[in-house]
Amino acid sequence: MVLKGFVKKGEYFDSVSLMIVSKEVNALPGIADSAIVMGTAQNKEIVRGANLYIPELFDQADDTDLLLALKADSDKVVEETLVKIDDLFKALRNKKDEGGSNFSPKSLEGAVEALPGANISLISVAGRYAGREAMRALKQGLHVMMFSDNVSIEDEIKLKRFAHDKGLLVMGPDCGTAVINGVPLAFANVLSKGDCGIVAASGTGLQEVMTIISNEGAGISQAIGTGGRDVKEAIGGIMFIDAMRALAADPATKVIVLVSKPPHESVLRKIADEIKTIKKPVVGIFIGGDPKILEAAGAIAGSTLEETAVIAAALSKGASVDDCKKKIADRKAGIIEQAKALTPKCRGKYLRGLFSGGTLCDETQLICKDMIGYINSNAPLNPEYRLKDSWKSVGHTIIDLGEDEFTVGRPHPMIDFSLRNKKITDEAADKDVAILLLDLVLGYGSHMDPLSEFVPAFTEAKKIAPELLIICSITGTDGDPQNRSRIKAGLERAGAIMMPSNAAASELAGNIIRILEGK
């Protein structure tokens, strides 16, 4: 076995492109392991951890240098692989843009010149550079969506104040989802066009609400993400309020929907004051927050993401909110019956949730809390229930696989299922596990063929433990490139119990455990 490395000075590729190349390289014959990364301090740590670090080469390299390390059977394999890597990079570089020209401008200013009328800058570079790029875009008069995280709070304040004064949007930092004029940006779904306008400080929360509205037969005018930190005290909800005002003034928006984790109370007051000025119906959910302030301001508070979406859809279609609430109550009763029917067939006693969406993970914990109490998690509602080791489930456990400990050096679980699939079979092998609860987020940005990942994993789990209940909900629409109905049918065939929403899936799982525990 030989370990060889190279440094390419000043060769920059984004992390996703590098992961694509790495994946292809690792699949080549004779290659035991490889690392292809930019030379940041963090990446160097990862390479060191993988025992691929070559100090005499890599010590000198910095952020703008490409590091390559190959562990292979022989020198010959290394040489052959290098030629292939070069080809892979060439293919990445020369990817054709629309219109046949392959000119890629090197800067935002060059891009604006090449694409007249450009109006949104979507930024996903490393956090410490993202602020400067965003400011350049704002100065050019573009609205900004910052997918990047790890942007300083000072930069966020500066950007949002500047944007506010210029009448521009800054969605993010750490904004995963937005839909502007029907265009899905980053992790987003294909929705029916309609008159529900959404402001959200939560990415998967927004995806769950907007897809359910669309699936309920209503539609979306705009879905504006703000990034989770916007509603904290330091930022003061600058963009959340600006976006509410824009939707209030938008003739195509009839119903306004607000989605967030509980805002800071000073921000909550501002939002409440703003609601009072809006003539359109407002439906809101501050996941885990007190609904009273919303209701006092004249808004309708949803208790779950699903309920919020269903109410918004009903308002959009001119249906009565009371009818709609009754329907939801009936559905809840139905789920209890379903739970009663399923409980006698299952083995074990524990609930294990494996989530890719952070807000969905929160919502499940909230719903279950009322039925079976707090649940252990790497992102718990109650800090006392924090797992000592995120990799080891204890009792009832719900894991957010999108948290940092799982995503450093690995793509997000919505793209890369390998970790979740491994945990699915691990949990199936634990005889005490009664239920596996899973979310599946579709749309752009997510894995394009989730059946190819989940079906083998579910089949394997069912082989290990035929009585194991796999309960799953899909956040997505039939318009999404993956097609929700097709995925649902495929997973049902693989033995999963498919529920219409994360709330419904959580209620079913919670009720089964409640019955098992005799509560």
Partner 1 sequence: MAINDLFSQEVKVVNTGMTAFRDDLAHCGVSVIQVDWKPPVGVSPESLDIIDDNLAKIDEANAKALEIILKGKPVLTGMGVALDTIPGMKKNLILHSGPPITWERMSGPTRGAVIGALIYEGMAKTPEEAEALAASGKIEYAPCHEHDAVGPMAGIVSASMPVFIVKNETFGNQAYCTLNEGLGKVLRYGAYGDDVVERLKWLETVMYPVLKKAIESFEKGIDLKNMIAQALHMGDEVHNRNRAGTSLLYRAIAPAVIRTCDDKDAAAKVLEFINGNDHFFLNLSMPAGKCTLDAARGIKGSSLLVVMARNGTDFGIQLSGTDRQWFTGPALVPDALYFPGFTKEDANPDIGDSAITETFGLGGFAIAAAPAIVQFVGGTARDAINYTMTMYEIAFGENNVYQIPALNFRGTPTGIDVRSVIAKAITPFIDTGVAHKNPGVGQVGAGVVQAPIEPFIKAFEGLAKSLS
Binding interface with partner 1 (CB under 8 A): 10, 12, 14-17, 63-64, 92, 95, 97-98, 101-112, 114-115, 117-126, 129, 132-133, 137, 141-143, 147-148, 166-169, 180-181, 183-186, 190, 221-222, 242-243, 245-246, 249-250, 252, 444-445, 481
Rounded least distance, CB 255 to partner 1, Å: 16
Please, which residue, 62 or 265, has the CB nearer to partner 1?
A: 62
Spell out the residues 6+ positions from residue 267 whose beta carbon is closer than 8 angstroms to its own.
Answer: 231, 232, 233, 236, 237, 240
How far is it, in rounded angstroms, from Cα 437 to Cα 351? 7
**DSSP per-residue codes, 366-418:** HHHHHHH---EESS-SSGGGB-SSTTS--SSEEEETTSHHHHTTS--TTT--H
Rounded least distance, CB 59 to partner 1, Å: 17
Please, which residue, 221 or 365, has the CB nearer to partner 1?
A: 221
Buried b (16+ CB within 10 A) or exposed e, 444-478: bbbbeebbebbbebbeebbebbeebbbbbbbbbbb
The DSSP H or E segment spanning 113 is helix 108-114
Q: Are 26 and 33 in contact (CB under 8 A)?
A: yes
Q: Tokens standing for 160?
A: 């949002």
Rounded least distance, CB 236 to partner 1, Å: 17
Please, which residue, 95 or 292, has the CB nearer to partner 1?
A: 95
How far is it, in rounded angstroms, from Cα 73 to Cα 87? 21
Please, which residue, 242 or 439, has the CB nearer to partner 1?
A: 242
Rounded least distance, CB 253 to partner 1, Å: 9
Rounded least distance, CB 249 to partner 1, Å: 6
Q: Are 437 and 430 in contact (CB under 8 A)?
A: no
Q: Are 439 and 445 in contact (CB under 8 A)?
A: no
Rounded least distance, CB 499 to partner 1, Å: 27
Rounded least distance, CB 230 to partner 1, Å: 14
Residue count of the chain, please give it. 519
CB atoms within 10 A of CB 500: 14
Rounded least distance, CB 302 to partner 1, Å: 25
The DSSP H or E segment spanning 507 is helix 502-516
Rounded least distance, CB 226 to partner 1, Å: 12
Q: Tokens standing for 490?
A: 């495929």
Residue type, 100: G
Please, which residue, 185 or 433, has the CB nearer to partner 1?
A: 185
How far is it, in rounded angstroms, from Cα 445 to Cα 239? 24
Rounded least distance, CB 101 to partner 1, Å: 8
Residues facing 7 on adjacent strands? 67
Residue type, 252: A
